[in-house]
Amino acid sequence: ASFALGVVMIGVILLAKRFKCNPDNVATPIAASLGDVTTLGLLAWISNVLYNHMLEQKQTALILILAYFLVLPILIYLSYKNEHTCLVLCTGWTPVLSAMLISSGGGLILDKAVEHFKGIAVFSPVMNGAGGNLVAIQASRMTTYLNKATNSLFGIFPPEEDAVCILPCSALCGGYSSCGGSNNIQNASVARVLLLLLIPGHVVFIIVICFLENLGIPTPLFFIFYLLAAVCQVAVLLYLCQILVYWMWSKGTDPDNAAIPYLTAIGDLLGTAFLALSFMVLSYSQDNFLEGIESDVSFENVTVILQSDAF
């Protein structure tokens, strides 16, 4: 999966350069989206092959694991000696492992929410995926901006942008006299554009999901609370992105290697939490669309149970 995704990313960046597009706006969302699809597809195919071999009493899985352990020291040595991969090898594990831990919190919230709202499982991937992709774009753009403005000198900031912790107003509304003046114009303007792109994008996603799943027509109340949850998620993520990228830069850590795993994991956690909260409010308000979703899901579950009992 990593090899296939790496080849795709090289192609995307070369094509973006050829067509004079900013790779920060294209490469990161594609990596996040194709990473899941590629990994799940390969996992399904390989697990099916290994399962068939297991039924045939073949020890293919054990042989592969032993082979991995044998070549692991060689690969670690080669990666450590390569100047382009040494930094990732030494510092890249902490963000990935921490992101896995944070994402597990979102999984626990989703597991509890599904017990009460079966339909939340349909909208959760869209909520989390969109938020993670948008904040990944912001993190990539901010890191590129710092690299260009300081000639890749870690710990050095552009003039009047040396503050790591700033107010949320400055992070999202920088450039206005009432929100920090001329400070943080570059990052705040992009953050506002991403927030504006979020609303029509989610509206399209909701309509497509309802059409494909035959869920009916969403009510205006459902749109309002769903979009409110999405905006809150991305707004918090963009503010955390501002702080996390600048903090990592000040400590000499490349945000491209460390910031995005944290932000996407926090996006999963916040997205699931805000979505569950919006479903709770809609349930309390007795929203007709939400009640219709839950009744349809419950009816389908009953049908499946009856069919399984019949056989």
Q: What is the pLDDT of residues 120-153, one digit of tens each?
A: 888 888 888 888 888 988 888 888 888 888 887 8
Average pLDDT, the chain: 82
pLDDT at 274: 93
Q: 30 and 11 in contact (C-beta within 8 Å)?
A: no
Place of tokens 């590129």: 144
Percent of the chain surpassing pLDDT 90: 18
> What is the rounded average pLDDT of the residues 186-207?
87
Please report, for the chain, how many H helices and E strands are present, in that order: 11, 0
| pLDDT-derived band at 112, boundaries 50, 70, 90 | confident
pLDDT value of position 70: 94
Contacts of 154 (CB under 8 A, 6+ apart): 249, 250, 251, 252, 253, 254
CA 250, CA 48: separation in Å to the nearest integer?
Answer: 47
Query: What pLDDT band is residue 275 in, cutting at 50, 70 and 90?
Result: very high
Nearest CA among 282, 307, 260, 250 for reference residue 119: 282
pLDDT given at position 310:
36
pLDDT at 63: 92
Predicted TM-score of the model (pTM): 0.78
Specify which of 57-66, 82-91, 163-172, 174-183 reaches the highest per-range mean pLDDT: 57-66
pLDDT at 311: 35
Model pLDDT for residues 3-31, shown as the tens digit of each residue: 877 887 888 888 888 887 777 777 777 77
CA distances 72 to 65, 67, 87, 146, Å, are: 11, 8, 18, 35
